[in-house]
Chains A and B, each alone.
Chain A
Protein backbone atom coordinates (compact mmCIF):
# COMPACT_ATOMS: atom_id res chain seq x y z
CA UNK A 1 0.00 0.00 0.00
CA UNK A 2 1.53 3.33 -0.96
CA UNK A 3 1.07 6.48 1.12
CA UNK A 4 -0.84 9.27 -0.56
CA UNK A 5 0.62 12.73 -0.74
CA UNK A 6 -1.43 15.53 -2.24
CA UNK A 7 0.49 18.43 -3.76
CA UNK A 8 -1.07 21.71 -4.84
CA UNK A 9 0.39 23.44 -7.89
CA UNK A 10 -0.06 26.26 -10.35
CA UNK A 11 0.13 25.47 -14.07
CA UNK A 12 3.71 26.70 -14.65
CA UNK A 13 6.75 25.05 -16.20
CA UNK A 14 8.52 24.95 -12.84
CA UNK A 15 5.81 22.69 -11.39
CA UNK A 16 7.60 20.03 -13.44
CA UNK A 17 9.31 18.05 -10.69
CA UNK A 18 6.25 16.90 -8.70
CA UNK A 19 4.46 16.19 -11.99
CA UNK A 20 7.36 14.11 -13.33
CA UNK A 21 7.85 12.36 -9.98
CA UNK A 22 4.27 11.19 -10.40
CA UNK A 23 4.22 10.52 -14.15
CA UNK A 24 7.61 8.83 -14.41
CA UNK A 25 7.04 6.55 -11.43
CA UNK A 26 9.72 8.01 -9.10
CA UNK A 27 7.16 8.59 -6.35
CA UNK A 28 5.78 5.09 -6.71
CA UNK A 29 9.30 3.65 -6.46
CA UNK A 30 9.52 5.37 -3.05
CA UNK A 31 6.20 3.92 -1.92
CA UNK A 32 4.26 7.16 -2.42
CA UNK A 33 1.26 7.92 -4.53
CA UNK A 34 1.00 11.59 -5.51
CA UNK A 35 -2.26 13.40 -6.07
CA UNK A 36 -1.74 16.70 -7.87
CA UNK A 37 -4.22 19.48 -7.19
CA UNK A 38 -4.29 22.30 -9.73
CA UNK A 39 -5.28 25.86 -8.84
CA UNK A 40 -5.00 29.20 -10.57
CA UNK A 41 -3.96 31.61 -7.82
CA UNK A 42 -1.24 31.43 -5.16
CA UNK A 43 -3.76 32.52 -2.56
CA UNK A 44 -5.81 29.41 -3.28
CA UNK A 45 -2.75 27.13 -3.25
CA UNK A 46 -1.91 28.63 0.15
CA UNK A 47 -5.48 28.21 1.49
CA UNK A 48 -5.62 24.56 0.52
CA UNK A 49 -2.28 23.93 2.18
CA UNK A 50 -3.09 25.79 5.40
CA UNK A 51 -6.51 24.19 5.79
CA UNK A 52 -5.23 20.69 5.16
CA UNK A 53 -6.75 20.02 1.76
CA UNK A 54 -3.24 19.38 0.46
CA UNK A 55 -0.19 17.97 2.21
CA UNK A 56 2.35 20.05 0.31
CA UNK A 57 2.47 22.72 -2.35
CA UNK A 58 4.48 24.10 -5.25
CA UNK A 59 4.94 27.64 -4.00
CA UNK A 60 6.73 30.91 -4.71
CA UNK A 61 9.52 30.87 -2.11
CA UNK A 62 8.80 34.27 -0.49
CA UNK A 63 5.18 33.25 0.16
CA UNK A 64 6.36 30.37 2.35
CA UNK A 65 8.39 32.86 4.39
CA UNK A 66 5.60 35.46 4.49
CA UNK A 67 3.18 32.78 5.77
CA UNK A 68 5.61 31.79 8.51
CA UNK A 69 6.21 35.40 9.53
CA UNK A 70 2.46 36.12 9.54
CA UNK A 71 2.41 38.66 6.75
CA UNK A 72 -1.14 39.30 5.56
CA UNK A 73 -2.70 36.65 7.82
CA UNK A 74 -2.07 34.94 11.16
CA UNK A 75 1.31 33.24 11.20
CA UNK A 76 1.55 29.52 10.44
CA UNK A 77 4.97 27.90 10.25
CA UNK A 78 5.79 26.35 6.87
CA UNK A 79 8.79 24.19 6.05
CA UNK A 80 10.71 23.78 2.82
CA UNK A 81 12.65 20.52 2.55
CA UNK A 82 13.30 20.85 -1.21
CA UNK A 83 13.81 23.67 -3.70
CA UNK A 84 11.95 22.99 -6.94
CA UNK A 85 14.13 25.25 -9.04
CA UNK A 86 16.21 28.37 -9.49
CA UNK A 87 15.27 31.27 -11.77
CA UNK A 88 13.27 30.69 -14.96
CA UNK A 89 11.59 34.11 -15.06
CA UNK A 90 12.09 36.97 -17.45
CA UNK A 91 11.25 40.63 -17.76
CA UNK A 92 9.15 41.47 -20.80
CA UNK A 93 8.50 45.06 -21.79
CA UNK A 94 6.07 46.63 -24.23
CA UNK A 95 7.92 46.44 -27.54
CA UNK A 96 8.18 50.21 -28.10
CA UNK A 97 9.69 50.61 -24.64
CA UNK A 98 12.01 47.62 -25.17
CA UNK A 99 13.28 49.17 -28.39
CA UNK A 100 14.38 52.23 -26.42
CA UNK A 101 16.20 50.48 -23.59
CA UNK A 102 17.51 47.18 -24.87
CA UNK A 103 19.73 46.05 -27.76
CA UNK A 104 17.89 44.24 -30.54
CA UNK A 105 18.03 40.49 -30.90
CA UNK A 106 19.84 39.71 -27.64
CA UNK A 107 19.51 39.93 -23.90
CA UNK A 108 21.23 43.14 -22.84
CA UNK A 109 23.51 43.88 -19.92
CA UNK A 110 21.21 44.42 -16.91
CA UNK A 111 23.11 47.53 -15.79
CA UNK A 112 22.93 49.13 -19.24
CA UNK A 113 19.28 48.24 -19.80
CA UNK A 114 18.54 49.63 -16.33
CA UNK A 115 20.39 52.84 -17.08
CA UNK A 116 18.45 53.36 -20.30
CA UNK A 117 15.21 52.55 -18.48
CA UNK A 118 16.05 55.14 -15.84
CA UNK A 119 16.28 57.79 -18.56
CA UNK A 120 12.80 56.82 -19.77
CA UNK A 121 11.44 56.86 -16.22
CA UNK A 122 12.84 60.37 -15.67
CA UNK A 123 11.41 61.56 -18.97
CA UNK A 124 8.02 60.19 -17.99
CA UNK A 125 8.24 61.71 -14.52
CA UNK A 126 8.81 65.11 -16.10
CA UNK A 127 5.54 64.58 -17.97
CA UNK A 128 3.82 63.51 -14.76
CA UNK A 129 3.54 59.85 -15.73
CA UNK A 130 4.80 56.70 -14.11
CA UNK A 131 5.72 53.43 -15.74
CA UNK A 132 3.76 50.48 -14.39
CA UNK A 133 5.12 46.99 -13.90
CA UNK A 134 3.30 43.74 -13.20
CA UNK A 135 4.61 40.93 -11.01
CA UNK A 136 2.79 37.68 -10.37
CA UNK A 137 2.36 38.02 -6.63
CA UNK A 138 3.17 40.37 -3.81
CA UNK A 139 5.27 37.67 -2.15
CA UNK A 140 7.09 36.38 -5.22
CA UNK A 141 10.72 36.21 -6.23
CA UNK A 142 9.57 38.05 -9.36
CA UNK A 143 8.64 41.05 -7.23
CA UNK A 144 11.96 41.02 -5.36
CA UNK A 145 14.13 40.40 -8.44
CA UNK A 146 12.44 43.20 -10.37
CA UNK A 147 12.72 45.59 -7.44
CA UNK A 148 16.34 44.62 -6.80
CA UNK A 149 17.23 45.38 -10.40
CA UNK A 150 15.30 48.66 -10.59
CA UNK A 151 16.69 49.95 -7.30
CA UNK A 152 20.27 49.03 -8.18
CA UNK A 153 19.84 51.00 -11.41
CA UNK A 154 18.68 54.09 -9.54
CA UNK A 155 14.94 53.63 -10.12
CA UNK A 156 12.99 53.71 -6.87
CA UNK A 157 10.14 51.15 -6.90
CA UNK A 158 6.88 52.58 -5.48
CA UNK A 159 8.17 56.12 -5.98
CA UNK A 160 9.40 56.38 -9.56
CA UNK A 161 7.36 53.47 -10.94
CA UNK A 162 4.31 51.48 -9.88
CA UNK A 163 4.37 47.75 -9.26
CA UNK A 164 1.11 45.81 -9.23
CA UNK A 165 0.06 42.17 -9.19
CA UNK A 166 -0.91 40.68 -12.56
CA UNK A 167 -1.71 36.94 -12.61
CA UNK A 168 0.44 35.07 -15.17
CA UNK A 169 -2.37 34.23 -17.64
CA UNK A 170 -3.28 37.95 -17.89
CA UNK A 171 0.23 39.28 -18.50
CA UNK A 172 -0.04 39.36 -22.29
CA UNK A 173 -3.46 41.03 -22.10
CA UNK A 174 -2.23 43.64 -19.65
CA UNK A 175 0.76 44.59 -21.83
CA UNK A 176 -1.36 44.64 -24.96
CA UNK A 177 -3.99 46.86 -23.37
CA UNK A 178 -1.37 49.24 -21.98
CA UNK A 179 -2.41 48.48 -18.38
CA UNK A 180 1.25 47.83 -17.60
CA UNK A 181 4.48 48.70 -19.42
CA UNK A 182 6.40 45.62 -18.30
CA UNK A 183 5.96 42.32 -16.53
CA UNK A 184 8.17 39.91 -14.63
CA UNK A 185 6.73 36.42 -15.03
CA UNK A 186 7.70 32.75 -15.39
CA UNK A 187 7.48 30.59 -18.48
CA UNK A 188 5.58 29.92 -20.63
CA UNK A 189 3.99 33.34 -20.13
CA UNK A 190 6.84 35.48 -21.51
CA UNK A 191 6.87 33.35 -24.65
CA UNK A 192 3.09 33.53 -24.92
CA UNK A 193 3.31 37.32 -24.67
CA UNK A 194 6.04 37.49 -27.33
CA UNK A 195 4.19 35.10 -29.65
CA UNK A 196 1.16 37.34 -29.44
CA UNK A 197 3.27 40.32 -30.39
CA UNK A 198 2.43 42.05 -27.12
CA UNK A 199 5.97 42.49 -25.83
CA UNK A 200 9.72 41.87 -26.04
CA UNK A 201 11.84 39.97 -23.52
CA UNK A 202 14.69 42.20 -22.32
CA UNK A 203 16.20 40.30 -19.38
CA UNK A 204 16.18 36.90 -17.73
CA UNK A 205 16.06 36.99 -13.93
CA UNK A 206 19.14 34.76 -13.96
CA UNK A 207 20.99 37.87 -15.18
CA UNK A 208 19.99 39.71 -12.01
CA UNK A 209 20.93 36.95 -9.57
CA UNK A 210 22.63 34.04 -11.31
CA UNK A 211 21.40 31.44 -8.81
CA UNK A 212 18.23 33.00 -7.46
CA UNK A 213 15.81 30.73 -5.59
CA UNK A 214 12.42 30.41 -7.26
CA UNK A 215 9.72 27.80 -6.42
CA UNK A 216 9.89 25.53 -3.41
CA UNK A 217 8.06 22.54 -2.03
CA UNK A 218 6.29 23.92 1.04
CA UNK A 219 4.40 22.09 3.75
CA UNK A 220 3.07 22.84 7.19
CA UNK A 221 5.76 22.28 9.78
CA UNK A 222 3.60 19.94 11.94
CA UNK A 223 2.83 17.82 8.84
CA UNK A 224 6.52 17.60 8.03
CA UNK A 225 7.32 16.43 11.57
CA UNK A 226 4.42 13.97 11.67
CA UNK A 227 5.16 12.40 8.30
CA UNK A 228 8.91 12.73 8.39
CA UNK A 229 9.69 9.35 6.78
CA UNK A 230 7.28 9.97 3.90
CA UNK A 231 8.59 13.49 3.41
CA UNK A 232 12.11 12.09 3.07
CA UNK A 233 10.79 9.58 0.53
CA UNK A 234 9.20 12.48 -1.34
CA UNK A 235 12.51 14.38 -1.36
CA UNK A 236 14.19 11.33 -2.89
CA UNK A 237 11.45 11.00 -5.51
CA UNK A 238 11.72 14.71 -6.42
CA UNK A 239 15.50 14.48 -6.65
CA UNK A 240 15.18 11.56 -9.08
CA UNK A 241 12.67 13.62 -11.05
CA UNK A 242 15.16 16.52 -11.15
CA UNK A 243 17.91 14.22 -12.37
CA UNK A 244 15.62 12.98 -15.12
CA UNK A 245 14.38 16.48 -15.89
CA UNK A 246 17.80 17.68 -17.06
CA UNK A 247 18.33 14.70 -19.38
CA UNK A 248 18.40 16.37 -22.83
CA UNK A 249 17.02 13.21 -24.46
CA UNK A 250 13.82 13.46 -22.42
CA UNK A 251 12.96 17.11 -23.16
CA UNK A 252 10.27 16.37 -25.73
CA UNK A 253 8.64 13.76 -23.55
CA UNK A 254 8.60 16.13 -20.56
CA UNK A 255 7.12 18.96 -22.61
CA UNK A 256 4.36 16.67 -23.84
CA UNK A 257 3.54 15.53 -20.29
CA UNK A 258 3.48 19.10 -18.94
CA UNK A 259 1.30 20.31 -21.82
CA UNK A 260 -1.51 17.90 -20.95
CA UNK A 261 -4.88 19.38 -19.91
CA UNK A 262 -4.60 18.18 -16.30
CA UNK A 263 -1.24 19.98 -15.90
CA UNK A 264 -0.35 23.14 -17.82
CA UNK A 265 -2.97 22.70 -20.53
CA UNK A 266 -0.61 24.52 -22.87
CA UNK A 267 1.48 24.44 -25.97
CA UNK A 268 4.13 21.67 -25.85
CA UNK A 269 6.38 23.56 -28.25
CA UNK A 270 6.56 26.65 -26.04
CA UNK A 271 7.09 24.52 -22.95
CA UNK A 272 9.91 22.59 -24.59
CA UNK A 273 11.57 25.89 -25.45
CA UNK A 274 11.61 26.89 -21.78
CA UNK A 275 12.94 23.48 -20.76
CA UNK A 276 15.75 23.84 -23.29
CA UNK A 277 16.67 27.38 -22.09
CA UNK A 278 15.62 28.82 -25.42
CA UNK A 279 13.82 32.13 -25.71
CA UNK A 280 12.16 34.04 -28.49
CA UNK A 281 12.89 37.61 -27.45
CA UNK A 282 10.83 39.32 -30.10
CA UNK A 283 8.31 38.01 -32.58
CA UNK A 284 9.93 37.29 -35.91
CA UNK A 285 13.47 36.97 -34.48
CA UNK A 286 15.47 33.77 -34.03
CA UNK A 287 15.50 31.79 -30.80
CA UNK A 288 18.25 32.76 -28.37
CA UNK A 289 19.92 30.16 -26.17
CA UNK A 290 20.50 31.39 -22.63
CA UNK A 291 22.29 28.71 -20.58
CA UNK A 292 20.82 28.07 -17.10
CA UNK A 293 17.75 30.22 -17.76
CA UNK A 294 15.89 27.66 -15.65
CA UNK A 295 18.05 25.76 -13.27
CA UNK A 296 16.81 22.52 -11.79
CA UNK A 297 19.41 20.05 -10.70
CA UNK A 298 23.17 20.67 -11.03
CA UNK A 299 25.21 22.19 -8.21
CA UNK A 300 22.70 20.99 -5.63
CA UNK A 301 20.12 23.41 -7.06
CA UNK A 302 17.44 21.67 -4.99
CA UNK A 303 19.28 22.09 -1.69
CA UNK A 304 17.38 24.51 0.59
CA UNK A 305 20.17 26.93 1.53
CA UNK A 306 19.25 28.83 4.68
CA UNK A 307 20.96 31.90 3.21
CA UNK A 308 18.53 31.90 0.25
CA UNK A 309 15.57 32.13 2.61
CA UNK A 310 17.30 34.89 4.53
CA UNK A 311 18.02 36.88 1.37
CA UNK A 312 14.30 36.76 0.57
CA UNK A 313 13.58 37.93 4.11
CA UNK A 314 16.01 40.83 3.64
CA UNK A 315 14.09 41.93 0.56
CA UNK A 316 10.69 41.53 2.24
CA UNK A 317 11.86 43.73 5.11
CA UNK A 318 13.42 46.19 2.67
CA UNK A 319 10.28 46.80 0.62
CA UNK A 320 7.76 46.63 3.43
CA UNK A 321 9.77 48.87 5.66
CA UNK A 322 9.91 46.29 8.46
CA UNK A 323 12.68 46.57 10.99
CA UNK A 324 15.20 43.83 10.34
CA UNK A 325 15.61 41.71 13.44
CA UNK A 326 17.88 38.80 14.15
CA UNK A 327 14.85 36.82 15.44
CA UNK A 328 12.86 37.28 12.23
CA UNK A 329 15.92 36.50 10.12
CA UNK A 330 16.38 33.29 12.13
CA UNK A 331 12.68 32.46 11.82
CA UNK A 332 12.80 33.00 8.04
CA UNK A 333 15.96 30.90 7.82
CA UNK A 334 14.32 28.03 9.68
CA UNK A 335 11.67 27.73 6.95
CA UNK A 336 14.32 26.13 4.73
CA UNK A 337 15.17 22.66 6.04
CA UNK A 338 18.56 21.42 4.81
CA UNK A 339 18.51 18.90 7.68
CA UNK A 340 15.54 17.08 6.13
CA UNK A 341 17.13 17.20 2.68
CA UNK A 342 20.36 15.76 4.10
CA UNK A 343 18.62 13.00 6.05
CA UNK A 344 16.67 12.01 2.93
CA UNK A 345 19.68 11.81 0.64
CA UNK A 346 22.41 10.60 2.98
CA UNK A 347 23.82 7.38 1.59
CA UNK A 348 22.69 8.06 -1.99
CA UNK A 349 25.15 9.18 -4.67
CA UNK A 350 23.83 12.73 -4.43
CA UNK A 351 26.49 15.24 -3.36
CA UNK A 352 25.62 17.04 -0.13
CA UNK A 353 27.30 20.35 0.72
CA UNK A 354 29.23 20.64 3.97
CA UNK A 355 27.56 23.92 4.95
CA UNK A 356 23.87 24.83 5.07
CA UNK A 357 24.33 28.52 4.46
CA UNK A 358 26.59 30.45 2.13
CA UNK A 359 27.58 34.00 1.34
CA UNK A 360 25.28 34.62 -1.64
CA UNK A 361 26.73 36.41 -4.65
CA UNK A 362 30.34 35.79 -3.70
CA UNK A 363 31.23 33.14 -6.27
CA UNK A 364 32.61 34.59 -9.47
CA UNK A 365 34.26 31.46 -10.80
CA UNK A 366 33.90 27.71 -10.69
CA UNK A 367 34.74 26.60 -7.17
CA UNK A 368 34.94 23.19 -5.55
CA UNK A 369 33.36 23.24 -2.09
CA UNK A 370 33.65 20.96 0.92
CA UNK A 371 30.96 18.34 1.20
CA UNK A 372 29.33 15.92 3.58
CA UNK A 373 29.31 13.34 0.78
CA UNK A 374 30.36 13.33 -2.88
CA UNK A 375 32.09 16.07 -4.86
CA UNK A 376 30.52 19.40 -5.47
CA UNK A 377 31.40 22.26 -7.75
CA UNK A 378 29.57 25.55 -7.64
CA UNK A 379 29.61 27.99 -10.53
CA UNK A 380 29.02 31.71 -10.82
CA UNK A 381 26.46 32.95 -8.26
CA UNK A 382 26.75 36.71 -8.74
CA UNK A 383 24.24 39.49 -8.31
CA UNK A 384 24.54 41.76 -11.36
CA UNK A 385 25.62 44.74 -9.26
CA UNK A 386 28.37 42.77 -7.54
CA UNK A 387 26.87 43.02 -4.05
CA UNK A 388 27.39 40.24 -1.56
CA UNK A 389 24.81 38.95 0.92
CA UNK A 390 26.30 37.72 4.17
CA UNK A 391 23.52 35.99 6.14
CA UNK A 392 25.35 36.78 9.39
CA UNK A 393 24.76 40.48 8.84
CA UNK A 394 21.27 40.94 7.40
CA UNK A 395 20.83 44.28 9.15
CA UNK A 396 24.03 45.71 7.70
CA UNK A 397 23.17 44.36 4.25
CA UNK A 398 19.72 45.97 4.17
CA UNK A 399 21.02 49.25 5.59
CA UNK A 400 23.60 49.40 2.81
CA UNK A 401 21.14 48.81 -0.06
CA UNK A 402 20.04 51.77 -2.20
Chain B
Protein backbone atom coordinates (compact mmCIF):
# COMPACT_ATOMS: atom_id res chain seq x y z
CA UNK B 1 0.00 0.00 0.00
CA UNK B 2 1.32 3.43 -0.97
CA UNK B 3 1.03 6.17 1.64
CA UNK B 4 1.91 9.80 0.91
CA UNK B 5 2.58 12.18 3.79
CA UNK B 6 2.26 15.83 2.75
CA UNK B 7 3.77 18.14 5.30
CA UNK B 8 5.78 21.32 4.97
CA UNK B 9 7.24 20.62 8.40
CA UNK B 10 9.90 18.00 7.79
CA UNK B 11 10.07 17.23 11.51
CA UNK B 12 6.39 16.38 11.78
CA UNK B 13 6.54 14.36 8.58
CA UNK B 14 9.37 12.27 10.00
CA UNK B 15 7.50 11.76 13.29
CA UNK B 16 4.54 10.38 11.32
CA UNK B 17 6.73 8.36 8.99
CA UNK B 18 8.47 6.72 11.94
CA UNK B 19 5.12 5.72 13.37
CA UNK B 20 4.02 4.09 10.15
CA UNK B 21 7.34 2.35 9.55
CA UNK B 22 6.21 -0.52 11.77
CA UNK B 23 3.47 -1.44 9.29
CA UNK B 24 4.21 -4.19 6.87
CA UNK B 25 4.13 -3.79 3.09
CA UNK B 26 3.56 -0.06 3.35
CA UNK B 27 5.51 2.17 1.06
CA UNK B 28 5.79 5.65 2.51
CA UNK B 29 6.47 8.82 0.54
CA UNK B 30 7.09 12.15 2.21
CA UNK B 31 6.37 15.37 0.32
CA UNK B 32 7.57 18.53 2.04
CA UNK B 33 7.68 20.84 -0.97
CA UNK B 34 4.47 22.67 -1.88
CA UNK B 35 5.56 23.41 -5.43
CA UNK B 36 4.77 20.71 -7.89
CA UNK B 37 2.59 18.91 -5.36
CA UNK B 38 0.05 17.73 -7.89
CA UNK B 39 2.69 16.40 -10.27
CA UNK B 40 4.34 14.58 -7.37
CA UNK B 41 1.01 12.99 -6.42
CA UNK B 42 0.66 11.80 -9.99
CA UNK B 43 4.04 10.05 -9.73
CA UNK B 44 3.42 8.53 -6.32
CA UNK B 45 -0.13 7.48 -7.15
CA UNK B 46 -0.90 6.95 -3.47
CA UNK B 47 -3.61 4.79 -1.95
CA UNK B 48 -3.83 7.13 0.97
CA UNK B 49 -2.63 10.67 1.59
CA UNK B 50 -2.11 12.00 5.09
CA UNK B 51 -1.83 15.71 5.65
CA UNK B 52 -2.16 18.29 8.36
CA UNK B 53 -5.57 19.92 8.57
CA UNK B 54 -3.81 23.27 8.66
CA UNK B 55 -2.33 22.80 5.21
CA UNK B 56 -3.77 25.24 2.66
CA UNK B 57 -2.83 22.90 -0.17
CA UNK B 58 -5.73 20.67 0.82
CA UNK B 59 -8.06 22.49 -1.58
CA UNK B 60 -5.54 21.95 -4.36
CA UNK B 61 -5.39 18.22 -3.69
CA UNK B 62 -9.16 17.89 -3.41
CA UNK B 63 -9.53 19.42 -6.83
CA UNK B 64 -6.85 17.16 -8.21
CA UNK B 65 -8.55 14.09 -6.81
CA UNK B 66 -11.94 15.22 -8.06
CA UNK B 67 -10.52 15.71 -11.52
CA UNK B 68 -8.58 12.46 -11.54
CA UNK B 69 -11.77 10.68 -10.59
CA UNK B 70 -13.36 12.14 -13.68
CA UNK B 71 -10.37 10.78 -15.58
CA UNK B 72 -11.21 7.34 -14.24
CA UNK B 73 -8.55 7.26 -11.57
CA UNK B 74 -10.86 6.47 -8.70
CA UNK B 75 -9.53 8.40 -5.75
CA UNK B 76 -12.03 9.48 -3.13
CA UNK B 77 -11.65 12.00 -0.43
CA UNK B 78 -11.51 11.35 3.24
CA UNK B 79 -12.22 8.10 5.01
CA UNK B 80 -15.30 6.03 4.43
CA UNK B 81 -18.06 8.56 4.98
CA UNK B 82 -20.04 6.22 7.20
CA UNK B 83 -17.26 6.14 9.75
CA UNK B 84 -18.10 9.37 11.55
CA UNK B 85 -16.15 8.43 14.65
CA UNK B 86 -12.80 8.05 12.96
CA UNK B 87 -13.38 11.20 10.94
CA UNK B 88 -14.12 13.07 14.15
CA UNK B 89 -10.97 11.67 15.73
CA UNK B 90 -8.82 12.68 12.79
CA UNK B 91 -10.25 16.21 12.69
CA UNK B 92 -9.60 16.51 16.42
CA UNK B 93 -6.03 15.39 15.95
CA UNK B 94 -5.56 17.78 13.04
CA UNK B 95 -5.11 15.16 10.35
CA UNK B 96 -6.93 14.95 7.04
CA UNK B 97 -6.90 11.70 5.17
CA UNK B 98 -7.69 10.96 1.56
CA UNK B 99 -8.33 7.41 0.64
CA UNK B 100 -8.70 5.52 -2.59
CA UNK B 101 -12.23 4.44 -3.20
CA UNK B 102 -13.07 0.93 -2.12
CA UNK B 103 -9.75 0.19 -0.44
CA UNK B 104 -9.76 -2.45 2.31
CA UNK B 105 -11.25 -0.47 5.21
CA UNK B 106 -9.54 -2.37 8.05
CA UNK B 107 -6.08 -1.64 6.68
CA UNK B 108 -6.86 2.01 6.13
CA UNK B 109 -8.18 2.14 9.65
CA UNK B 110 -4.87 0.91 11.10
CA UNK B 111 -2.91 3.51 9.17
CA UNK B 112 -5.28 6.23 10.16
CA UNK B 113 -5.24 5.27 13.84
CA UNK B 114 -1.46 5.26 13.83
CA UNK B 115 -1.31 8.57 12.01
CA UNK B 116 -3.73 10.15 14.47
CA UNK B 117 -1.60 8.97 17.37
CA UNK B 118 1.54 10.37 15.75
CA UNK B 119 -0.12 13.71 15.01
CA UNK B 120 -1.14 13.92 18.67
CA UNK B 121 2.35 12.95 19.83
CA UNK B 122 3.78 15.69 17.65
CA UNK B 123 1.42 18.37 18.92
CA UNK B 124 2.21 17.32 22.51
CA UNK B 125 5.89 17.73 21.67
CA UNK B 126 5.15 21.20 20.33
CA UNK B 127 3.13 22.27 23.36
CA UNK B 128 5.81 20.97 25.75
CA UNK B 129 8.36 22.99 23.86
CA UNK B 130 6.20 26.11 23.91
CA UNK B 131 5.60 25.66 27.62
CA UNK B 132 9.30 25.28 28.33
CA UNK B 133 10.04 28.38 26.28
CA UNK B 134 7.29 30.26 28.11
CA UNK B 135 8.72 29.28 31.47
CA UNK B 136 12.15 30.45 30.42
CA UNK B 137 10.77 33.82 29.32
CA UNK B 138 8.88 34.11 32.60
CA UNK B 139 12.01 33.45 34.63
CA UNK B 140 13.83 36.13 32.69
CA UNK B 141 11.08 38.64 33.42
CA UNK B 142 11.11 37.79 37.13
CA UNK B 143 14.92 38.17 37.24
CA UNK B 144 14.71 41.52 35.48
CA UNK B 145 11.97 42.72 37.85
CA UNK B 146 14.01 41.64 40.86
CA UNK B 147 17.03 43.59 39.61
CA UNK B 148 14.91 46.70 39.11
CA UNK B 149 13.47 46.47 42.64
CA UNK B 150 16.89 45.75 44.17
CA UNK B 151 18.45 48.85 42.55
CA UNK B 152 15.59 51.28 42.91
CA UNK B 153 14.50 50.30 46.43
CA UNK B 154 17.92 49.15 47.70
CA UNK B 155 16.64 45.80 48.97
CA UNK B 156 18.10 42.30 48.84
CA UNK B 157 17.18 39.67 46.28
CA UNK B 158 14.99 37.59 48.66
CA UNK B 159 13.22 40.79 49.70
CA UNK B 160 12.63 41.75 46.08
CA UNK B 161 11.18 38.32 45.32
CA UNK B 162 9.00 38.45 48.46
CA UNK B 163 7.71 41.83 47.30
CA UNK B 164 6.74 40.45 43.88
CA UNK B 165 5.07 37.43 45.44
CA UNK B 166 3.12 39.50 47.93
CA UNK B 167 1.83 41.84 45.21
CA UNK B 168 0.88 38.86 43.06
CA UNK B 169 -1.05 37.28 45.91
CA UNK B 170 -2.81 40.51 46.83
CA UNK B 171 -3.92 41.07 43.27
CA UNK B 172 -4.69 37.44 42.54
CA UNK B 173 -2.31 37.41 39.57
CA UNK B 174 0.73 35.38 38.61
CA UNK B 175 4.21 36.47 39.68
CA UNK B 176 5.32 36.55 36.04
CA UNK B 177 2.53 39.01 35.24
CA UNK B 178 3.59 41.32 38.06
CA UNK B 179 7.19 41.01 36.95
CA UNK B 180 6.18 41.96 33.40
CA UNK B 181 4.30 44.99 34.74
CA UNK B 182 7.34 46.09 36.74
CA UNK B 183 9.63 45.76 33.73
CA UNK B 184 7.18 47.61 31.46
CA UNK B 185 6.68 50.42 33.98
CA UNK B 186 10.41 50.71 34.43
CA UNK B 187 10.97 50.96 30.67
CA UNK B 188 8.23 53.58 30.42
CA UNK B 189 9.99 55.64 33.07
CA UNK B 190 13.10 55.58 30.92
CA UNK B 191 15.05 52.91 32.76
CA UNK B 192 16.99 49.98 31.33
CA UNK B 193 15.48 46.53 31.97
Contact = CB atoms under 8 A, between A and B. Distances in A.
Interface of A: 39-44, 47-48, 51-53, 72-74, 136-138, 164-170, 177, 179
A170 B62 CA distance: 16
B66 A51 contact: no
B59 interface: yes
Contact of A73 (B54, B55, B60, B81): B81
Contacts of B191: none
Contacts of A167: 56-57, 59-60
Nearest to B56: A167
Interface centre among B55, B57, B63, B84, by most chain A C-beta atoms within 10 angstroms, is: B63
Interface centre among A40, A169, A177, by most chain B C-beta atoms within 10 angstroms, is: A40
B91 A165 contact: no
Nearest to A71: B66
Contacts of A179: 35
Interface string B51-84: 0011111111011001000000000011001001
B111 interface: no
Nearest to B34: A170
Contacts of A40: 54-56
Contacts of B35: 177, 179
A41 B56 CA distance: 5
A137 B91 CA distance: 21
Given A74-B81, A164-B63, A177-B35, A41 B55 contact: yes
Interface residues of B, number: 21
8 contacts: A40-B54, A43-B58, A51-B91, A52-B88, A73-B77, A164-B63, A166-B60, A168-B56
A41 B59 contact: yes
B87 interface: yes
Contacts of B78: 47, 73
Contacts of A164: 60, 63
B77 to A, nearest CB: 6
B91 A53 contact: yes
Contacts, number: 64
Contacts of B63: 137-138, 164-165
Contact of B91 (A48, A168, A170, A177): A48
Contacts of B62: 43, 72, 138, 165
Contacts of A47: 53, 78, 87, 91, 96
Interface centre among B56, B59, B77, by most chain A C-beta atoms within 10 angstroms, is: B59
Given A137-B59, A167-B56, 17 more contacts: A39-B54, A40-B54, A40-B55, A41-B59, A44-B58, A47-B53, A52-B88, A72-B62, A72-B66, A73-B78, A74-B81, A138-B59, A138-B63, A138-B66, A167-B60, A168-B56, A179-B35
Interface centre among B35, B60, B78, by most chain A C-beta atoms within 10 angstroms, is: B60
Interface string B25-39: 000000000110000
Interface centre among A52, A74, A138, by most chain B C-beta atoms within 10 angstroms, is: A138
List 10 tightest A-B contacts by C-beta distance, closest first: A167-B56, A41-B58, A165-B63, A40-B56, A138-B63, A43-B58, A41-B59, A165-B60, A74-B81, A43-B62
A51 B78 CA distance: 12
Contacts of A170: 34, 56
Contacts of A39: 53-54
B116 to A, nearest CB: 14
Contacts of A43: 58-59, 62, 77, 96
Contact of A42 (B57, B59, B96): B59
Interface centre among A42, A44, A179, by most chain B C-beta atoms within 10 angstroms, is: A44
Nearest to A166: B60
A391 B77 CA distance: 33
Given A51-B87, A72-B62, A44 B96 contact: yes
A372 B59 CA distance: 41
Contacts of B88: 51-53
A166 B60 CA distance: 6
A376 B121 CA distance: 57
A168 B57 CA distance: 10
Contacts of B81: 73-74
Contact of A44 (B53, B66, B77, B84): B53
Contacts of B53: 39, 44, 47
A74 B91 CA distance: 18
A132 to B, nearest CB: 12
